[in-house]
Structure 1
Amino acid sequence: AVHVPAEDWGDGGIVNWLRDEMNSHPECIPSFLELLRVLPEEVFNYKIAARPDRRRQFVKELASAMEVALNILTACLNINELKEQVLEAFASWLWLRHRIPPSTLASHPLVLTALSSLNSDMLSEASVNVISELIHYTAARNLGGVSAQMPLIQVIVPQVMSLMAQLRDSSKDEEDVKAIARLFADMGDSYVELIANGSNESMLIVHALLEVASHPEYDIASMTFNFWHNLQINLIERNSYLSFGNEVSIEAERNRRLLVFRSSYESLVSLVSFRVQYPPDYADLSTEDLKDFKQTRYDVADVLIDAALVLGGEATLKILYVKLVEAVPSCGNDEHSEWHPAEAALYCIRAISDYVSVTEAEVMPQIMSLLPKLPRQPQLLQTVCLIIGAYSKWLDAASNGLSFLPSVIDILVSGMSMSEDSAAAAALALRHICDDWGKRLCGSLDGLFHIYQRAVIGEGTFKVSAEDSLHLVEALSIIITELPSDHAKKALEALCLPAVTPLQDIINQGPLVLGQATARELTVHIDRLANIFRYVNHPEAVADAIQRIWPIFKAIFDLRAWDMRTMESLCRACKNAVRTSKRFMGITVGAMLEEIQGLYKQHHQPCFLYLSSEVIKIFGSDPSCANYLKVLIESLFSLTTCLLTKIQDFTSRPDIADDCFLLASRCIRYCPQLFFPSVVFPSLVDCSMIGITVQHREASNSILTFLSDIFDLANSSQGGHYLSIRDSVIIPRSASITRILVASLTGALPSSRLETVTYALMALTRAYGVKALEWAKEIVSLIPSTAVTEVERSRFLQALSDAASGVDINALMVPVEELSEVCRRNRTVQEIVQGALRPLELNMVTVS
């Protein structure tokens, strides 16, 4: 129906036609009712390929026929067997959010029928759908919001509230209870601003929502979670109180509301905290059920954060501490130990850690004293370790924090020995402690080294995985950063040793062994070195370390350049060393770049490009490095452009394209004096034009960003010096670039890339003004009128004209989005448009 103009249905459009047909063919009324129901759904069904203009017109046609539609539905109420169908159709028409006087709706037969049928076995589902839509209708901003809809709200709310007893009725079908709970949740979500006032009437709704939150079925209880979050925002954020004028009044009203809702959020904490408890059959859960359980814990944690924001972290902590104290007596060390409630309480306490003050001195000391007394059960120990990590800032700030350190370290060592999960939690916790305690742990470095060596060498009972051992690497690196320079060099050498020694051993066994080793045998050690170079913030010490280790790295580069995984790990280590050491790298960085420049010619590893990118960032503006860097970028770019000569090359190696154009953008920013005069600049622009439409998201974005950076050159501090070079390259290619960008907007790239493509096109327009508008006008004229109307063309070109005048791009997105939508509305149209624009042909059109 959305495709058929109103006049084609005869006098009055499709709704009048339906009314007349119903009168003429009463035996077909059920079929006509179904058609009436789906009409509003067509407005929101974007699988139906309608033009935006036609869709807007269809909405107007339906809105003008609203009264006729409701009259038809009202007349059909007299036929009992059609009531359910009538109510479903009414719910559908409410989607349109057409302005009907609230007093009219409040007394409308359709509304009254829906309200009176809430307790009907036959009609309850349809009635719930109507009331749900009415609730959303009353909250619609375009209809004046809640305040304008009070006559209707005052009819709906009492009827919904009367259903409260059914929430507790165990004889009710679960689906019926869900439907009722949905109405309460809808009321909460829709009227949250009204409820936030804290009136006696609104508190009745809050109590009802607490009742829903207490339901034993999690799917029902969780329907309220969104309400508690939105209510928290309304209570906390200053924007909710702007109407109260001055700061004193705002603060007074805010405090009043927080006091009103305090008991509700206190109840909420108690109602949701038990839901994170491990089920007795946890070990037997399927993968899907395990995923659901973890999601439940995350969702409950979010609710607890909302509560902490309203109540304050300390008040929330006290409630949860009571739960913990109640649970601890059941925690024995025998097989009948009931550890689940204690673990649940600790999980909840961890969830609110960011909202508990580091100066809290009443509850946290008791919790920290309690932790060593808990049984070392795997899941419980994992959560205890996570608690320690979460409250590491509190431990650092507490006056008696140091006294807890021995027992805390003992717990973490136990965690590393218990299971892989508890070991992961313990390693992360130790990293947090080192991060927060920093210099205070310098005296404990020997003990920390002992833990580190046991974990990375694999001695004893530790179960720390290679990935989780990186947390320990980071922990030690942070402490070493706090040491004086001379001590730091020695400590850094000791930290590197457990990673360097195995690599040296493999190399010492000869080229054959090094060549045949698995990537994992090498990367597990290289990744540790990468993290050391990243987190030890002693530039000179790291530069010395990389210089000593360089012969090992060079041997791996020379014999494993074919191995992408190892090369990525090695380049990451080198990148981190360059980033930390900067100009202290000296000779080593030259040797490193010479190595990758030579290897790239043979092995084409994209990680060689991103390592070069880091070097450009650090050394790009250094005149003493200019000659060397010029040779480097010309070598890398000339080779890459030879690898990417057609779209299929981009599709098969998007990683190379991605890193190539990221490097090019970095050259524009850090060494434009080397990049723009270079012989590779024109060939890189040509290469980018070939690859714009690659379907790989990162590669496409890197190419579009590179082009945008070129177009925005005048905005950069040094860009003005190179505008003439840029123009000499871009203007001869302008028509093709414009055509490919327009093709990308209209279907050559997925609609999810629309924003990035639009920015590139707008940047081109801003850079070249009237010329760019002429290019765009000629390109858009290539699209056949069967696909795009003159009005749609004009709106799009006007948006480009506005962009050239400096209008904010965000304000111009609607015409661009509409052109994109029109050209993608079905496969046939999309093929017509792409056939006209031919984005894969670089030189199809010449525009002067």
Structure 2
Amino acid sequence: MATDTTETFLVEVNALFTSHDKARREQADIWLQAFQKTSEAWALSDQILRSQITPETARYFAARTFRQKITLDLHQLDSAARISLRDSLLELLYQYREGPRKIITQICLSLVALALQMPEWQNVLPQFAELYGKNPDTVKCLLEFLKILPEEVNTNNRIPISDEDYRIRSKELLTNNANEVLQMLLIYLQNSGENIDYQIQVFECFESWLYSGDIAIASLENNPFLGHSFDALQSNELYDIAVDVVCRIIHETRDTSDSMPVIEQIYPRLLPLRESLKRAIEEEDDDKVRGYCRIFTQAGESYLELIVQHADAFQSIVESIAECAAYHDTEIVRITFFFWHRLADTLCEPRHADIRERFKTIYLNLVDVMIKHLHYPNDLSSWTAERRDEFREFRHVMGDVLKDCCLIAGSQECLTKPYTTLAHQLLNPANGNMLEWQQIEAPLFSLRAMGSEIPEEENVVLPQIMQLLQQLPDHPKIRYAATLVISRYSFWTRKHSQFIPYQLNFISSGFEHEEVAAAASMALKYLCKDCSELLVEYLPQLHPFYLNVTNKLNGTDLLEVTEAVTHVVAAVPPAEILKALQTFCLPIAQGLHLLANKGVGANERDIRNACDKLEQLSMILRVFAERQKKDDATDAIPLPVHPCISIIQELWPVFDLLLMNFGADPHLSESICKCFKYCIVYYPAAFRPLLPEFMDRLITVFDRTSLSCYLWVAGKCVREHSTGEGTEATITLLTFFERLSVTMFRFIVEKKPSDIPDVVEDYFRLNITFIDCAPLTYSQSAIFPSVLQAGLTSLTIEQQDALHSVLAFFNKLLSFIVKEMQQIPPASGNITGSPITPPSHPVGMNTNLLNLGTILCQHGSALIDGLFRGLMYTFSRDLQQNYVEDILTSLAKLYPHDSQQWISEVFQHLQDANLTSDIKNAFIRDYNFNTEPGFAEITTCD
């Protein structure tokens, strides 16, 4: 049998690592994961690792299996077996002393995980030093372990160990050995001769222990390791690791008040690196420049207060970072950005106002540097789409640096930089037609990036810039950038309305260029939003423009243009607002009416167009609501019916026909439900007369289509229109909920919950909404047993969002019952409570709660069974932490005796090799005494 398992193991590992068939690799992965959970995996992994004729991939996977099992399954071994495992791993480490290194690493990871969980293993580091530290052939095993030890102890959160045990063991393994490790590493470094590999490993260990914080930074004062670390920068072979170590040393001295003695030894070593940086820049040695950039930037970030307080003394660091920022490699340039941001933030503090001027020149020069980096290359067509996306993202990050420049150097001075560049290029006759579009687009982009830091009353440079925009070449990329500049400064245009006619014309003509349409849509949106009152007089011109352009646009561009004109319509005087709104909604209504009447004759394009029009209508509803909320103008429209609801009323027959003819289309149903969501949420009082008819239609269309969006919008109805416990409106909504539930129960019988995860999710979110709004009314529902059964059935689903919804429902329901029972004197049965406060609800309500508790009790065993099966096989870790613990705790409070019996019964039927009798008994014991189960002990999923 063992031989068969070994052969299968080798076949599956080979498939996992070499098969070109994705399905076969997935099959192998499933088998190997299951194998790793078995007790048999201990011996087989040892056997595989000891065989020198077994393929390396199999031995590597066996080593990984040891790490996995020690991390998650060490409870399968008693004390004697653990000692045997430790000794076996130490032997294997010696066996693999010549490599491969990846197997050495996995064995060391296993030993660290074991050491952390074996408090009886007290001489870990001395034993390693004795076994592997004396022979040059085995020193690399010791160094690998020393490197991994602090990394794993501080980062592997999967190891099941209590906080107190971790604190004690971490101190024993790391803190108590830090000084000895430092001295050991220094000896190895000094005795390494020309062995670069040993030197690299020593530095890696040193950095790892520094990172863990166990080697105190004060111990580096006058320690030769500090000098060796900087000296290693002169070695090409050691350069990369030396950069890592030096950066780590600097980072650990960031608390300047405590680290000054060490900083005083670091800073003199930084100064000579300035010349090394300049030489690397001249030679365009990207790797060297990157390393020095990391060091100087780390110094700048760590010693920021010293730089600000002693600008002259630490000027060399800032200048070095500035030189790196001007380098041609943008990935190196990016390293400096966080420093410039932190320095600007620090200089903006009132206590540093007197020193800010000292850094003004640096930030002004940085504007020129950023504009230079903003240039697209001349051979842009040769770039891949991915590279273009990366550069676009990088440009936006550079925009943040330009904002920092405005804060320190002043907005007017910073604006002058791109303006001067543009004016020179556009107004210099010598340039003629020789200008590349990149030369103009980059300074335009910088203007856009600075926008948020420019005051609306700026009257010196921006007027000249706006005038200059009229002289730009008619190139699509230049026009795109200029249009976004207008978009960014719409807040400024509000105070400078003389530019509105030109800007409107400039933006509207942009729609004639396919490449500029997106920018034009955005610019129109912001101009209309910020200058809405000023643009009301332009509505007669906007209307034909709107009708024309919306026939050509779709997606985001269409919605942004719709939002734009809606802002202006919303600014119309109240007496005229309905008429203006009807004028702009007429093409939407006509388009929807056309589709509604087509019926089965409609094609996919017709439906897509209808979805666009519904999205437009949603945008109109949203903009009106948001403007009214902002302006507090809900009552400022002296009309019997809100104009938006008037539009909905006029369109109601069309909506009704759309739902009847196309309600099963997932795209159109989503769009129409979004429309009604805005009506329900933003105009609840105005929409209330339409609510009964709307709820009836929802019931009908959900019964016919089983689409989840109808449950989603039903939840909005309950949330916004429930008026409290037992009111007529709430009772009506309960009936509405029950009628939807009857359909839902039919779906669960006809289909598996896993086939309709989105419907399951939204149905139980609807239940949660009712519990939130009117829990006592909800508890009276006659269909509650069926709701509960639907929830139990849905616990088998594997889709995580749906599971979140189901578990959140059970958690919310049980928490509510526990809270209410605490206000009721003890009753018969297992439901217990303490009369903390007098009953706050009628006796009938108390009876309903007791009945509800009885129903829950009847399903308690099934609920426990579903929870534990989910814990073992399907629930993610966050589901366990967010819901399951609370659910079990609530059950323990409500049914203290029954819940223990349910758990015992469920455990008797659960068949899983990893769920041993010891684990079951320990869980029940903890549950009995603490009513706070220890989930980590029973779960087998990672």
Q: TM (normalized to structure 2)?
A: 0.74
Q: Tell me how far apart the structure 2 counterparts of residues 664 and 69 of structure 1 sit (CA, whole Å).
A: 59
CA offset at residue 107 of structure 1?
2.1
SS in 2 for 1:352: helix
5+ unaligned residues in a row in structure 2: which ranges?
1-110, 626-636, 821-838, 908-914
Q: Matches of residues 546-695 of structure 1 in structure 2 within 5 Å?
A: 546-585=648-687, 587-621=689-723, 623=727, 625-626=729-730, 628-644=732-748, 649-672=752-775, 674-691=777-794, 694-695=797-798
Report sequence identity in percent: 23
Q: Tell me how far apart the structure 2 counterparts of residues 745 and 235 of structure 1 sit (CA, whole Å).
A: 52
Q: Tell me how far apart the structure 2 counterparts of residues 127 and 255 of structure 1 sit (CA, whole Å).
A: 38
Q: Tell me how far apart the structure 2 counterparts of residues 333 and 555 of structure 1 sit (CA, whole Å).
A: 63
Q: Tell me how far apart the structure 1 counterparts of residues 118 and 302 of structure 2 sit (CA, whole Å).
A: 39
User: Which stretch shows the higher mean deviation, 725-734 or 779-788?
Assistant: 779-788
2:623 to 535, 547, 550: 535
Q: Tell me how far apart the structure 2 counterparts of residues 610 and 137 of structure 1 sit (CA, whole Å).
A: 52
1:438 to 532, 544, 554: 532
SS in 1 for 2:234: coil
Q: Tell me how far apart the structure 1 counterparts of residues 449 and 429 of structure 2 sit (CA, whole Å).
A: 21
Partner of 2:16: none
Partner of 2:507: 412
Q: Tell me how far apart the structure 2 counterparts of residues 787 and 551 of structure 1 sit (CA, whole Å).
A: 63
Partner of 1:78: 191
CA offset at residue 378 of structure 1?
1.3
Q: Tell me how far apart the structure 2 counterparts of residues 332 and 670 of structure 1 sit (CA, whole Å).
A: 73
Q: Matches of residues 352-367 of structure 1 in structure 2 within 5 Å?
A: 352-367=450-465
- Deviation track 1:746-773 (CA, whole Å, cap 9, x = no partner) reads 874323556643xx74588589869679
Does the 8 Å contact 1:713/1:719 carry over to 2?
no
Q: How many correspondences in the alignment?
A: 777
User: Which stretch shows the higher mean deviation, 609-618 or 679-688?
Assistant: 679-688
SS in 1 for 2:406: helix
Partner of 1:834: none
2:287 to 163, 175, 185: 175
Specify the structure having the higher radius of gyration (Cα).
2
Does the 8 Å contact 2:891/2:899 carry over to 1?
no
Q: Matches of residues 702-741 of structure 1 in structure 2 within 5 Å?
A: 702-711=805-814, 713=816, 725-726=848-849, 728-729=851-852, 732=857
CA offset at residue 356 of structure 1?
1.6
Partner of 2:75: none
1:525 to 603, 613, 637: 613
1:187 to 299, 311, 318: 299
> Are 1:164 and 2:164 an aligned pair?
no
Q: Tell me how far apart the structure 2 counterparts of residues 101 and 186 of structure 1 sit (CA, whole Å).
A: 16
> Are 1:118 and 2:229 an aligned pair?
no
Partner of 2:629: none
> Are 1:208 and 2:320 an aligned pair?
yes
Which residue identity lines up with residue 433 of structure 1 in the other structure?
A: L
Does the 8 Å contact 2:143/2:201 carry over to 1?
yes
CA offset at residue 314 of structure 1?
4.5
Which residue identity lines up with residue 941 of structure 2 in the other structure?
A: Q
- Deviation track 1:271-305 (CA, whole Å, cap 9, x = no partner) reads 22322222222233211111111111121122223
Q: Tell me how far apart the structure 2 counterparts of residues 742 and 71 of structure 1 sit (CA, whole Å).
A: 51
CA offset at residue 522 of structure 1?
2.3
CA offset at residue 94 of structure 1?
2.0
1:391 to 469, 489, 514: 489
CA offset at residue 51 of structure 1?
3.6
Q: Matches of residues 98-177 of structure 1 in structure 2 within 5 Å?
A: 98-100=214-216, 102=218, 104-139=219-254, 145-169=255-279, 170-171=282-283, 173-177=285-289
Which residue identity lines up with residue 443 of structure 1 in the other structure?
A: E
User: Which stretch shows the higher mean deviation, 350-359 or 228-237?
Assistant: 228-237
Q: Matches of residues 815-830 of structure 1 in structure 2 within 5 Å?
A: 829-830=940-941
1:749 to 849, 871, 875: 875
User: Which stretch shows the higher mean deviation, 742-751 or 443-452?
Assistant: 742-751
Partner of 1:487: 576
Q: Tell me how far apart the structure 1 counterparts of residues 840 and 400 of structure 2 sit (CA, whole Å).
A: 47
- Deviation track 1:129-183 (CA, whole Å, cap 9, x = no partner) reads 22122223323xxxxx332122222222321332122222233632122122111
- Deviation track 1:181-200 (CA, whole Å, cap 9, x = no partner) reads 11112222333344343543
Partner of 2:67: none
Q: Tell me how far apart the structure 1 counterparts of residues 250 and 900 of structure 2 sit (CA, whole Å).
A: 47
Q: Tell me how far apart the structure 2 counterparts of residues 797 and 209 of structure 1 sit (CA, whole Å).
A: 61
Which residue identity lines up with residue 639 of structure 1 in the other structure?
A: T
> Are 1:504 and 2:593 an aligned pair?
yes
> Are 1:39 and 2:143 an aligned pair?
no
Q: Tell me how far apart the structure 2 counterparts of residues 726 and 46 of structure 1 sit (CA, whole Å).
A: 46
Q: Structure 1 residues 316 and 729 mapped into 2: Cα distance closer, same or farther (>3 Å)? A: farther
CA offset at residue 635 of structure 1?
0.9
Which residue identity lines up with residue 41 of structure 1 in the other structure?
A: E
Q: Structure 1 residues 685 and 744 mapped into 2: Cα distance closer, same or farther (>3 Å)? A: same
CA offset at residue 412 of structure 1?
0.4
Does the 8 Å contact 2:325/2:336 carry over to 1?
yes
Q: Structure 1 residues 755 and 412 mapped into 2: Cα distance closer, same or farther (>3 Å)? A: farther
Does the 8 Å contact 2:117/2:161 carry over to 1?
no
Does the 8 Å contact 2:229/2:246 carry over to 1?
yes
Q: Tell me how far apart the structure 1 counterparts of residues 341 and 304 of structure 2 sit (CA, whole Å).
A: 10
Partner of 2:209: 93
Does the 8 Å contact 2:871/2:941 carry over to 1?
no
Does the 8 Å contact 2:595/2:602 carry over to 1?
yes
Q: Tell me how far apart the structure 2 counterparts of residues 719 and 707 of structure 1 sit (CA, whole Å).
A: 24
SS in 1 for 2:512: helix
> Are 1:231 and 2:343 an aligned pair?
yes
- Deviation track 1:80-118 (CA, whole Å, cap 9, x = no partner) reads 11333322322222222115361x312223332222222
> Are 1:513 and 2:601 an aligned pair?
yes
Partner of 1:470: 559
SS in 1 for 2:353: helix
Q: Structure 1 residues 708 and 374 mapped into 2: Cα distance closer, same or farther (>3 Å)? A: farther
Which residue identity lines up with residue 173 of structure 2 in the other structure?
A: E
Q: Tell me how far apart the structure 1 counterparts of residues 616 and 862 of structure 2 sit (CA, whole Å).
A: 47
Does the 8 Å contact 1:738/1:776 carry over to 2?
no
Q: Tell me how far apart the structure 1 counterparts of residues 326 and 332 of structure 2 sit (CA, whole Å).
A: 9
Partner of 1:277: 375
> Are 1:374 and 2:472 an aligned pair?
yes
SS in 2 for 1:441: helix
Does the 8 Å contact 1:788/1:823 carry over to 2?
yes
Does the 8 Å contact 1:470/1:528 carry over to 2?
yes
Q: Tell me how far apart the structure 2 counterparts of residues 296 and 751 of structure 1 sit (CA, whole Å).
A: 35
SS in 2 for 1:418: coil
Q: TM (normalized to structure 1)?
A: 0.82
- Deviation track 1:385-427 (CA, whole Å, cap 9, x = no partner) reads 222222111111x2xx2211111011101211112x4211111
SS in 2 for 1:3: helix
RMSD: 3.9
- Deviation track 1:659-714 (CA, whole Å, cap 9, x = no partner) reads 22332233234444643322234433443454457554443443444445445549
Does the 8 Å contact 2:250/2:298 carry over to 1?
yes
Does the 8 Å contact 2:230/2:242 carry over to 1?
yes
1:300 to 391, 398, 404: 398
Which residue identity lines up with residue 79 of structure 1 in the other structure?
A: S
Q: Matches of residues 341-352 of structure 1 in structure 2 within 5 Å?
A: 341-352=439-450
Q: Tell me how far apart the structure 2 counterparts of residues 395 and 425 of structure 1 sit (CA, whole Å).
A: 17
Q: Tell me how far apart the structure 2 counterparts of residues 673 and 90 of structure 1 sit (CA, whole Å).
A: 63
Q: Tell me how far apart the structure 1 counterparts of residues 271 and 924 of structure 2 sit (CA, whole Å).
A: 50
Which residue identity lines up with residue 309 of structure 2 in the other structure?
A: N
Does the 8 Å contact 2:483/2:506 carry over to 1?
yes
